[in-house]
Amino acid sequence: MSGSTAWDRLGRHLHETQLLGSIQSTLYWDQNTRMPSGGAAWRGEQLTLLARQLHQRQSSAVYAALVAEARADWQSQIDAGDLSEVERQERGRNLELLELDLRRQQRQDPDLVAALATAKAKGYDCWQQARSSSDFPLFAPALEHLISLRQEQARQLDEDRGCWETLAQPFEPDLRLSRLLELFAPLRRRLPELLQQVQKAPRPRSLDWDLSEQQQQRLCSQLLEEWGRDPAITSVAESPHPFSITLGPRDFRLTTRVVSGQPLSCFLATAHEWGHSLYEQGLPTASHQWFAWPLGQATSMAVHESQSLFWENRVARSEPFAQRWWQRFQAEGAAVDSPASLWRAMNPIAPGTNRVESDELSYGLHIMIRTDLELALLEEGLPVRDLPAEWNRRYQELLGVTPLDDAEGCLQDVHWSEGLFGYFPSYLLGHLVSAQLSEAMATAIGSPEEHVARGDVSPLLAWLREHVHPVGRALNAEGLVQQVSGRPLSSDAFLAYLESKLECLAAAA
Amino acid sequence: MSGSTAWDRLGRHLHETQLLGSIQSTLYWDQNTRMPSGGAAWRGEQLTLLARQLHQRQSSAVYAALVAEARADWQSQIDAGDLSEVERQERGRNLELLELDLRRQQRQDPDLVAALATAKAKGYDCWQQARSSSDFPLFAPALEHLISLRQEQARQLDEDRGCWETLAQPFEPDLRLSRLLELFAPLRRRLPELLQQVQKAPRPRSLDWDLSEQQQQRLCSQLLEEWGRDPAITSVAESPHPFSITLGPRDFRLTTRVVSGQPLSCFLATAHEWGHSLYEQGLPTASHQWFAWPLGQATSMAVHESQSLFWENRVARSEPFAQRWWQRFQAEGAAVDSPASLWRAMNPIAPGTNRVESDELSYGLHIMIRTDLELALLEEGLPVRDLPAEWNRRYQELLGVTPLDDAEGCLQDVHWSEGLFGYFPSYLLGHLVSAQLSEAMATAIGSPEEHVARGDVSPLLAWLREHVHPVGRALNAEGLVQQVSGRPLSSDAFLAYLESKLECLAAAA
């Protein structure tokens, strides 16, 4: 490794930090795809050790000096007129993001970092057991512990933000809770109204046919092949919860799962996770935008989700997609006899108790419930023991359904078991971002549906690779949407898309 | 973590070293089971970083002080009469092994350790490409580099041993090359004679039937279930080369592979790898014999191999096993119509070019060739470019076969691509150890075959769990064999077993 400028030295430090971070991610990947349950305790210790090491590196005086040196170097190069405007901006943005993260790392007590890593691993293990026996009291102590550790973390971070908002920053940089509530307000009004209309002619979620694991996997392979998967840099496995993760600059992984009785679940999850992966694969790689630098990283979970939702909802669930694919589904044994029958099967609209399997309309309400409950748990003193009752009450109110048990209710999601609070809203923001970016795309190159109808999605990917993916962290989510669409993020595009789709579905019923 | 004796402090250090070591193993597991080829370079960097960290920990002054402190503590406890005889011996053995390893670690230059880790990752990647195109010159530079690094390592270790013997120590502690040659001498004489006899009536290796992947996997699952696999602590995956690895005190992994046209390969590999895993699962776990202490670890690769060979050859390839299993194979579609037909299919005796798929008789000759070539490459100046010709010449001489190309020849094994020299002889020593331990077992509880015929292998496992597995590193391979069988290791038991089996096979032909 040559180069001895302050910038190069900082780069080498970040490179090694990224090596450690991606080792952590590899352990996480293994934990979710292959590790036997008996490995949980030791894996927890491994992850705690790495979390300590990473925190130590990212908060060390050595690292702080490297960042300060690079900042001084940047300034003196500007003074000497040695940097182009683009270089000045890009390096400046990298430094700004590194300094922000450095301050956050420095403010956290190493013991808290280690305790959190341990509590996450234990929480995850405990949640798995609790969910399989639908035994919330079994999980409650772990959740209480995670909440108190995360509250302590927010106190230590000591930002000009409430607890929830502080914890949401890593997922949605710069997000304000007030802005989130403003963005969600029209949805809070409109989604229940739309749901009421739809319920006059509900579109049932369950299908009267199924596909074997092999059949589903063959369809998923065809999809990824058609969408240009390169097996030299991507790998697919199975896990209880589908996810996408990047383990190296040329090592992208995704997982799916086959759900009995839901023959389209794995296919749609594949489309979804592939969208996440395409975003990661399209992040900038030039010099100081690379993998280990902030500019080479995903800017927010909402933008990430916008990319997965684009491929899942705008492409795979579209009418022209069904037109092109229904015969392949039929050939694998699916009981579909027309494009319309596959399209209808792809687009159930019926409120249920499960977020992951929910439709595009009720999805937002699942997120509102979680957001409200996170605020209640973290900031308003809701006792953990009251969570199941509160959960069920809100589901009845907003969606008109009640979970059979806590496994189907407040134990359904993994997030809280890993201490991830402040994450859920990104999913719904992702719907808003996706819709607004899709409008901009349609104006520029024609609607996604037109391209799908022509059987060539490559212009869609090319447009995303030009306007969205390479931005990295140069802009936050709202900045990206403003730049691409020319106006601030709002719920307008999403609600317009949703209303139009519901109309079409009603017409096709 | 409580406790503040010198012993406890040393234990905590070893515990963290083992956490790091098992992280390394997890990356290795992933590399071989799921990583896309594009991930190789980054994975190499991750492994190099961990190798550096591990070497730093294992050679540090802090660690040396902990070992010295524990040694002093041990002595003063003995002087004060505070230790039982067993404690004195066990702790003393732990210290002896730790001191030996510490000296080895201290003698190695950190840059060499890092260079070796990098060269291994690159060598493996390069070998994969070279093998797929049967292009030895593509691999040759990487092999040359690995050889020179390993020669340098042997120089730095500066032991009272030759280069090859020094490098063999981690696999076969205390082994002398002269002793190895002595043990192999009767085999060098006798195996070619037996091979000649057999070739008068060769038993072809290829079968005229095959089984699908699903059929093979169902049979493998049945086998592991019958042999008591606990899915809470074990996990099975696929990889290009079957292996077994331990990733945590309750996390045991094994891989198999399905080879087209060889319907029994995956089944026998499963039996083999399960034998390795059973040994690891049976290692002692009490206090200072635990996972992170030398006493809780496998004593040598030969002993490891003896355990895998026991379950593969003595159990799964036995006549009574075929008696009990042929109908299950038939039910899955295998073209076997009697116990004898499955037994014959399980026991081909025909020299070929491939070590892994070779029979019990020719196996030893594959190992002799590799051992001789390693000595030639490391100590006698054989140029790497001459390896393919030397390889093929010896195969023709000893086995009477010639590989079609280098992929089938000197590129067939992964070991050298990872710089593993001195490893191969353990495989053959494993045959000797297995045969001698099996004789002792037969004397004590009746022959393995009798138990297999009764359909209950649990007494076999119980005996191994009493006499072999819990010894850990308290004894080296020869010490273990001496203790269990009451006489020094030799090739007698193996040759006797082999000759008897060949006779039975000839009679059943």
Give the domain ranges of chain B.
6-158, 177-508
How does A353-363 read in b/e, with b if 16+ C-beta sit within 10 Å? bebbbbbbbbb
pLDDT band at A396 (very low <50, low <70, confident <90, very high): very high
Exposed/middle/buried for residue B405 (C-beta within 10 Å: 0-12, 13-18, 19+): middle
- Rounded Cα gap, residues B418 and B31, in angstroms: 13
- Contact list, A233 vs chain B (CB under 8 Å): 36, 38-39
- Give the side-chain half-sphere CA count within 13 A for A216: 22
CATH class, A177-508 region? mainly alpha
The single residue listed with the structure tokens 């019990």 is B360
Q: Can you tell me the mean pLDDT for A435-463?
A: 97
pLDDT band at A121 (very low <50, low <70, confident <90, very high): confident
- Rounded Cα gap, residues B275 and B32, in angstroms: 20
Nearest CB among A33, A34, A42 relative to B248 is that of A42
Over residues B30-79, the pLDDT tens digits come to: 999 999 999 999 999 999 999 999 999 999 999 999 999 999 999 999 99
- Contact list, B45 vs chain A (CB under 8 Å): 19
Over residues A263-276, the pLDDT tens digits come to: 999 999 999 999 99
Tell if the CB–CB gap between A247 and B42 is shorter than 8 Å.
Answer: yes
* Lookup: tokens for B69: 């402190």
- Rounded Cα gap, residues A56 and A44, in angstroms: 18
For residue A198, the Cα-to-chain-centroid distance in whole angstroms is 28
The region of weakest confidence among A319-328, A384-393, B97-106, B200-209 is B200-209
Of A172, A273, A305, A374, the active-site residue reads A273
% residues pLDDT > 70 (chain A)? 98
Q: Can you tell me the mean pLDDT for B391-409?
A: 96
* Lookup: tokens for A244: 């996408």
Q: Can you tell me the mean pLDDT for A438-458?
A: 97
- Rounded Cα gap, residues B444 and B439, in angstroms: 9
Predicted pLDDT at A207:
85
Nearest CB among B19, B42, B49 relative to A46 is that of B19
How does B5-36 read in b/e, with b if 16+ C-beta sit within 10 Å? ebbebbbebbbebbbbbbbbbbbbbbbbbbbb
Residue A142 predicted with pLDDT over 50: yes
- Please, are residues B187 and B368 in contact by the beta-carbon 8 Å criterion? yes
Over residues A245-262, the pLDDT tens digits come to: 999 999 999 999 999 999
Q: For chain A, say whether B508 makes contact (Cβ under 8 Å).
A: no
Over residues A149-191, the pLDDT tens digits come to: 999 999 999 999 999 999 999 999 999 999 999 999 999 999 9
* Contacts for B280-283: CB closer than 8 Å, 24+ residues apart: B280/B244, B280/B246, B280/B252, B281/B233, B281/B252, B281/B469, B282/B464, B282/B465, B282/B468, B282/B469, B282/B470, B283/B469, B283/B470, B283/B472
Predicted pLDDT at B219:
98
Q: Can you tell me the mean pLDDT for A379-396?
A: 98
Predicted pLDDT at A199:
81
- Please, are residues B71 and B6 in contact by the beta-carbon 8 Å criterion? no
- Rounded Cα gap, residues B180 and B18, in angstroms: 31
What is the ipTM score, two decimals?
0.93
pLDDT band at B286 (very low <50, low <70, confident <90, very high): confident
Residue B121 predicted with pLDDT over 80: yes
* Lookup: tokens for B246: 């331990």
Q: Can you tell me the mean pLDDT for B206-211?
A: 89
- In Å, how far is B263's CA from the nearest CA of chain A? 21
Over residues B140-163, the pLDDT tens digits come to: 999 999 999 999 999 999 999 999
- Give the side-chain half-sphere CA count within 13 A for A451: 21
- Please, are residues A216 and A333 in contact by the beta-carbon 8 Å criterion? no
Tell if the CB–CB gap between A235 and B36 is shorter than 8 Å.
Answer: yes
Identity at B156, one-letter amino acid code? Q
Q: Can you tell me the mean pLDDT for A412-427?
A: 96
Over residues A28-66, the pLDDT tens digits come to: 999 999 999 999 999 999 999 999 999 999 999 999 999
- Distant-in-sequence, close-in-space partners of B397: CB < 8 Å, separation ≥ 6: none
Residue B269 predicted with pLDDT over 60: yes
- Distant-in-sequence, close-in-space partners of A107: CB < 8 Å, separation ≥ 6: A156, A157, A158
Antiparallel, parallel or unpaired: β A234-238 and A251-256: parallel
Residue A81 predicted with pLDDT over 50: yes
Select from B256, B253, B214 the least CA-distant residue to B30.
B253
* Lookup: tokens for A148: 């108190």
Q: Can you tell me the mean pLDDT for A369-383?
A: 98
Q: Can you tell me the mean pLDDT for B318-329?
A: 97
Select from A357, A340, A205, A208 the least CA-distant residue to A272.
A357
Predicted pLDDT at B289:
67
In the residue annotation, B273 being an active-site residue is answered as yes
Q: Can you tell me the mean pLDDT for B240-267?
A: 94
Predicted pLDDT at A123:
94
Over residues A281-296, the pLDDT tens digits come to: 999 987 666 788 999 9
